[in-house]
Amino acid sequence: MKHGKKYVEGAKLIDRTKLYDTAEALEVCVKTGTAKFDETVELHVKLGVDGRHADQQVRGAIVLPNGTGKSVRVLAICKADKEEEAKAAGADFVGGEEMVQKIQSENWMDFDVLITTPDMMGQVGRLGRLLGPRGLMPNPKAGTVTPDIGKAVTDAKAGKIEYRLDKTNIIHCPIGKVSFGVEKLQENFDTLMDAIVKAKPSAAKGQYVRSCVVSATMGPGVKINPAKFI
């Protein structure tokens, strides 16, 4: 596989035989993020669980202290008595059944997060086939199905992210932008890793955190020593 010139230059900064501590890994990661746009720094964590079993699922949501650096478009679907609360919290789009119909009939997807209330899930649930594959289906575990819609909207706008296993038992999450610098990225990293470690299923056996890697959007991965999370 051929890589671009900047990727190759960034790879030269990394010692492939070394497991870095977090601060040093993030410092190297920032140095490799030399694209013309503000690259996202992502965390990839391989866990020693088998997500095919319900009792070994790892999933949750957390508000990063410094946000993600991304402007999040929030759609709130709720009944009329909750609409003002959602608007006041900063929701970009607010509505009820008409928003469900808009998504169904127009395939409208101009939002990044959908938040709804439990009493609307009967209608929103019909959108599963459209929203599910895009990762937009609201879920109580992610805090996107809640009676406190104002707080949920505020959290989403502030940089709330969802973490969950993929099919290979790896969690992939953004932890900020290269422009954040090491200190802010470290705070976001620590917050997310703390949540992942606390979410360890009781059924998980052996080493929980198998590997931990950070990378900028266009850069190579930097391996972090997982020993501190064991």
Note the pLDDT of residue 159: 86
Distances (CA, A) of 96 to 74, 83, 102: 14, 8, 10
Query: pTM, whole model, 2 decimals?
Result: 0.82
Q: Which residues neighbour 123 within 8 Å (Cβ) at sequence distance 6 or greater?
A: 77, 97, 100
Q: What is the DSSP letter of 20?
A: B
pLDDT tens digits, one per residue of 117-170? 999 999 999 999 999 988 899 999 889 999 999 999 999 999 899 899 999 999
Q: What is the CA radius of gyration of the chain?
A: 19
Q: When comparing pLDDT for 6 and 29, which is higher?
A: 29
Nearest to 22 by CA among 166, 202, 228: 228
CA distance linking residue 59 with residue 54, whole number of Å: 11
Q: Are the beta carbons of 215 and 7 closer than 8 angstroms? A: no
Q: What are the residue ranges of helices labelled H in 66-200?
A: 80-89, 97-106, 121-124, 128-131, 149-158, 181-198
Give me the residues paired with residue 223 across strands.
213
pLDDT tens digits, one per residue of 69-93? 988 999 999 999 999 999 999 999 9
CA distance linking residue 68 with residue 61, whole number of Å: 13
pLDDT tens digits, one per residue of 209-229? 999 999 999 889 999 999 988
Q: What is the DSSP string of 98-132?
A: HHHHHHHHH-----SEEEE-GGGHHHHGGGHHHHG
Note the pLDDT of residue 2: 64
Structure tokens at 219: 């850069």
